[in-house]
Amino acid sequence: MISALDISTSGLIAQRERLTTISQNIANMSSLRDANGRIGPYKAKHVILETDHQLATSSGAAGVKVAEVRENDVEPKRRWQPDHPLAIKDGKWKGYVEYPNVDMTEQFVDALEASRAYESNVGVIEMTKNMTSQTLRILA
């Protein structure tokens, strides 16, 4: 019974991690330099979830965990801004500025989905609590 709580908690953690990554993507949607000051647009990140067998019970219940956070390979958006201080100096894209490949619509849909998934895990926790308190009523 307690393992159900652990499992739902692992779901909560995983979904919160997704939301954190999404807010990172949205916050950085105009970042043109990385943390070390190197020029290069921010790359959108995706959280990859996988089943976590560390919490597995004998009957086959298991939790979930964040397997990795992977960068999006989509090409950066390029805008023609020859006067911009970070504009590309030479080559095919001369005069263009590279902007992060963060797609707002995609991020918002993901955020909505993550928060719904979070809510459903909270719902299961409520159910677990209800069942546990019913069981404990036998003692009363």
Partner 1 sequence: MENSIFNANTVPVLEQVVNFAQKRHSILATNIANQRVPGYKGRDLNVDRFHEVLSEAIERKNNPNEPISQGLVHTKEGDPMRDVQDSLNGILFHDESNLDIERQVAELSKNQTMHNTALAIMESQFRLLSVAISERV
Phi first, then psi: give them for residue 135, nearest 5 degrees: -65, -40
86, 95 contact by CB (below 8 A): no
Under the binding rule (CB under 8 A), the answer on residue 20 touching partner 1 is no
Residue 22 makes contact with partner 1 by CB under 8 A: no
Q: Read off the DSSP letter of residue 6.
A: H
Q: Dig out the tokens for 107 from the structure.
A: 């991020």
Question: Quick one: how far is CA 120 from the chain centroid?
Answer: 17
Query: What is the pairing mode between strands 96-99 and 63-71?
Result: unpaired
Residue 61 or 86 having the CB closest to partner 1: 61
Q: Establish if 64 lies at the interface with partner 1 (CB under 8 A).
A: yes
Q: Which of 16, 17, 18, 70 binds partner 1 (CB under 8 A)?
A: 18
Cβ proximity of 29 and 42 under 8 Å? yes
37 binds partner 1 (CB under 8 A): no
- Considering the complex, what minimum distance in angstroms separates the CB of residue 55 from partner 1? 9
36 is an interface residue for partner 1 by CB under 8 A: no
Site of interaction with partner 1 (CB under 8 A): 1, 3-4, 7-8, 10-11, 14-15, 18, 48-51, 57-64, 113-114, 117, 120-121, 123-124, 127-128, 130-131, 134-135, 137-138
